[in-house]
Structure 1
Amino acid sequence: MPKLTETQTLILSAGAQRPGNIALPLPKGLHGAAAKMTVTKMIERGWLQEVDANLRRGEPLWREIGDGHGTTLVVTEAGLLAIGIEPVVVQTMAAIRKHAAEAPAPKPVTPRAGTKQAMLIAMLQAPEGATMEAIIAATGWQAHSARGAMSGALGKKLGLVVTSVKEEGRGRVYRIGQSG
């Protein structure tokens, strides 16, 4: 393996100490063509890898690739080994990144059949919707409990969008998944 320069050692050592083994920012004074040449050689030797930057986490950008996306530089296992560090941290971070990318969508929550909540959902999904009076009569709840169930259990916990519209002759009518 080729001998590391002082600059390469600085980049790899600093990256090994950062969360996610991110190699940026580069050492002071290293910018422009010199930075590009150094990083290119380190990527060719397998010591650094260019990966998509997670801008939400504030990862520093190495270069922009358009549409508000960019890449950052990460020290690889080979880079850690080149400076004498066991790559356990890199393997852990790689597993975390892989798991995050492959994580299945959360399973949708479905209410148990025969419950008042299931009855409320069925009433609200009907094309005609449901008035507060009908909900109170069917569930036996007070009006404030029914509104709380629509806002809390249905809206916040189940992610359903409950809309309400004043209709001529019926008053306020509540529905799920439709606009009236």
Structure 2
Amino acid sequence: MTKLTETQTIILSAGAQRPDNIALPLPKGLAGAAAKMAVNRMIALGWLQEVDANLRRKEPLWRETGDGHGTTLVVTDAGLLAIGFEPVKAKMMSSTRAIVQAQPVAKPPTPRAGTKQALLITMLRQSDGASMQEIVEATQWLAHTARGAISGVLKKKLGFVVTAERIEGRGTVYRIEGPVS
């Protein structure tokens, strides 16, 4: 299975949330040759499909075909599966394109056992959570590294809901919301 880049994940995730799973507009800062290269790679992998744009519905254009028509980009079922969304139903429109509605797959992330990331998750899942000082001592990370792991890996990459609460005598205490293990 091909590993998604951050750009590919952003494009597919945004498209999965839009009506008709349209992948446009692309993320800010992605334009020109870089955009073309990223999109062509995703089309080759089967994650995006170029389809005729419905100009009456003012769908965004990927490219113009030269005959007064244009194309747009749609996230395919394979693209939805690549980001962990399961295609549920397809309703046929008057055009030849189907609208795909997606729901997230209920598969919790499972980190490798014995890693500092797994230790961090275990600490934050405890009912009393973990303070930054406790995290730093347990992982031997610097405080900024621990905060980066919480916001970047746990929240953004793995999708955990992490809360922070200031507690007298302990400082900021972090917890993962949801079922306690």
Q: TM-score, normalised by structure 2?
A: 0.51
Alpha-carbon distance in 2 for matches of 1:26, 1:33: 13
Aligned partner of residue 66 in structure 1, secondary structure: coil
Q: Is there any run of 5+ residues in structure 2 with no aligned partner, and where?
A: 97-181
Please give the residue correspondences for 1:153-168 in structure 2 after superposition, counting only pairs within 5 Å: none
Give the partner amino acid of 1:66: G
Please give the residue correspondences for 1:20-169 in structure 2 after superposition, counting only pairs within 5 Å: 20-88=20-88, 91-92=89-90, 95-97=91-93, 100-101=94-95
Q: Offset of 1:67 from its aligned partner?
A: 1.9
Provide Cα deviations, 1:137-179, integer angstroms capped at 9, x if missing partner.
xxxxxxxxxxxxxxxxxxxxxxxxxxxxxxxxxxxxxxxxxxx
List structure 1 runs of 4+ shifted beyond 6 angstroms.
Answer: none
Give the partner amino acid of 1:96: M
Aligned partner of residue 14 in structure 2, secondary structure: helix
Give the partner amino acid of 1:7: T
Alpha-carbon distance in 2 for matches of 1:28, 1:15: 14
RMSD, aligned CA: 1.1
Alpha-carbon distance in 1 for matches of 2:2, 2:51: 24
Q: Offset of 1:3 from its aligned partner?
A: 0.1
Q: TM-score, normalised by structure 1?
A: 0.52
The yes-or-no answer on 1:17 pairing with 2:17 is yes
Identity %: 78
Aligned partner of residue 46 in structure 1, secondary structure: coil
Q: Offset of 1:32 from its aligned partner?
A: 0.1
Alpha-carbon distance in 2 for matches of 1:2, 1:74: 19
- Kindly indicate which of the two structures has a greater share of residues assigned to strand: 2
Provide Cα deviations, 1:38-69, integer angstroms capped at 9, x if missing partner.
00000000000000000000100000001210
Aligned partner of residue 29 in structure 1, secondary structure: coil
Aligned partner of residue 33 in structure 1, secondary structure: helix
Alpha-carbon distance in 2 for matches of 1:10, 1:37: 15
Aligned partner of residue 85 in structure 2, secondary structure: coil
- Kindly indicate which of the two structures has a greater share of residues assigned to helix: 1
- Which residue in the other structure is 2:164 paired with? none
- Which residue in the other structure is 2:6 paired with? 6
How many residues in Structure 1 have an aligned counterpart in Structure 2?
A: 96
Aligned partner of residue 73 in structure 1, secondary structure: strand
Alpha-carbon distance in 2 for matches of 1:24, 1:2: 22
Aligned partner of residue 7 in structure 2, secondary structure: helix
Mark the structure with the bigger radius of gyration.
Answer: 1
